[in-house]
């Protein structure tokens, strides 16, 4: 297993990180089996585990906590906060009120006294970034977390966060967690160059593009929309949709490429993100032991320039075939009221 330094933190992490999203009711409800998978990953040299409070409503964190009993000191543990945990207002977001409350809940579920990397799961336009950074800085000083980062922040919000941290004397975001795969390459345009320029660690997720790169979904073969990932979001896998056809066409060419270099498509998919100089670690999220073993084979695979050139021909750099893993949509685009003057004002101006 190879290791890299996480941003400027001095913390060394394995180039593949064990993602725990599929541990619990959403994926594998067998706690004992999940613990065995975690132990197997650690035994293979992975020292980095990533989860989130909202994965299976806290169940994933509980499973990780069980698995790390007696092994906590050897593991770099990451979790996240942002999404709602229960009904009612003020039970989610990036406010001081919620972060201070929820970090305690995560510590209890994880059975630990500290979290190595605490991540803001999404940008929150309702909360001043200074409030969030100040809260996280306080948690570092209290020893409850070692460092902090974010996931799926727009580049412009990363830039603002860095500016605020410098101006206010706060600690800054050390990591970003975006999607990155053979089908999802939009972060190559500005996100990865920004992180590289500012010394941020990058943890990429979704190397299998929600299963499109697992080898399970192939062109001109029936796709069962009632099982697996397809059952959760059938529209993403519907072969009657033009975007699905485009993805499946690319998959066929990538399958051929994988065969030419003597590996499987999932192995190729797991190896691809590691080749980018801005990427620190690639999150793999197995549901079963067999999936873990397949993905770990990709951990030892090094892609040469000729192979990367062929990938660029199939899916050009910076493009995005899997739109569901595309850039975050800011409120300025999602909410029409943010870009339209009140009708009375428009009439007065006209």
Q: What is the DSSP string of 73-125?
A: GG-EEEEEE-S--SSSTTSSSS-HHHHHHHHHHHHHHHT-S-EEEEEE-S--T
Based on the residue annotation, tell me whether 123 is a catalytic residue of this protein.
Answer: no
More confident residue, 273 or 217: 273
CATH number at residue 335: 3.20.20.100
Give the model confidence (pLDDT) of 171-229 as tens digits. 999 999 999 999 999 999 999 999 999 999 999 999 999 889 998 888 888 877 777 77
Nearest-angstrom CA–CA distance, 235 and 225: 9
pTM of the shown model: 0.93
Domains in the chain: how many in total? Answer: 1
Nearest-angstrom CA–CA distance, 1 and 305: 21
**Strand duo 76-81 + 115-120: pairing:** parallel
- Is residue 176 within a helix (H) or strand (E), and if so which, with residue range? strand 175-177
Under a CB-based contact definition with an 8 Å cutoff, are residues 248 and 218 in contact?
yes
Give the model confidence (pLDDT) of 34-57 as tens digits. 999 999 999 999 999 999 999 999
Which of 55, 118, 217, 322 is labelled catalytic?
55
Q: Which residues pair with 326 in a beta bridge?
A: none
Nearest-angstrom CA–CA distance, 75 and 238: 40
- Domain enclosing residue 118, as ranges: 3-349
Q: Indicate the pLDDT class of residue 349, thresholds 50, 70 and 90.
A: low
Handedness of CA 167, 6, 73, 24 (dihedral sign): positive
Is the pLDDT at 340 greater than 90? The verdict is no
């Amino acid at each position: 297993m190879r290791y890299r330094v996480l941003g400027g933190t001095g913390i060394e992490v394995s180039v593949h990180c064990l993602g725990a999203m599929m541990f619990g009711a959403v994926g594998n409800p067998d706690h004992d089996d999940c613990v065995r998978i975690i132990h197997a990953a650690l035994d293979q040299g992975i020292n980095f585990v990533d989860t989130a409070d909202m994965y299976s409503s806290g169940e994933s964190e509980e499973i990780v906590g069980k698995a790390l009993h007696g092994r906590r000191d050897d593991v770099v543990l990451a979790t996240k906060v942002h999404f709602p945990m229960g009904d009612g207002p003020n039970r989610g977001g990036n406010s001081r009120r919620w972060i201070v409350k929820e970090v305690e809940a995560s510590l209890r579920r994880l059975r630990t006294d500290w979290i190595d990397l605490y991540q803001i799961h999404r940008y929150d336009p309702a909360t001043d970034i200074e409030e969030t950074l100040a809260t996280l800085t306080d948690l570092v000083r209290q020893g409850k977390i070692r460092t902090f980062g974010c996931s799926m922040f727009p580049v412009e919000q990363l830039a603002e966060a860095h500016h605020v941290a410098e101006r206010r004397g706060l600690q800054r975001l050390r990591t970003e967690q975006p999607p990155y795969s053979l089908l999802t390459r939009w972060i190559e345009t500005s996100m990865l160059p920004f992180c590289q320029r500012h010394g941020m660690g990058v943890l990429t997720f979704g190397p299998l593009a929600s299963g499109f790169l697992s080898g399970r979904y192939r062109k001109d073969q029936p796709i069962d929309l009632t099982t697996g990932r397809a059952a959760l979001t059938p529209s993403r896998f519907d072969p009657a949709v033009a975007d699905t056809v485009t993805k499946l066409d690319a998959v066929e060419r990538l399958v051929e490429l994988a065969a030419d270099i003597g590996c499987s498509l999932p192995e190729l998919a797991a190896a691809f993100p590691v080749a980018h100089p801005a990427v620190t670690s690639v999150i793999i999220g197995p549901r079963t032991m067999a999936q873990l073993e397949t993905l770990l084979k990709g951990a030892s695979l090094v892609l040469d320039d000729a192979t990367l050139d062929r990938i660029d021909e199939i899916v050009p750099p910076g493009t995005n075939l899997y739109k569901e893993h595309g850039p975050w949509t800011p409120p300025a685009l999602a909410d029409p009221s943010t870009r339209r003057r009140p009708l009375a004002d428009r009439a007065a101006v006209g």
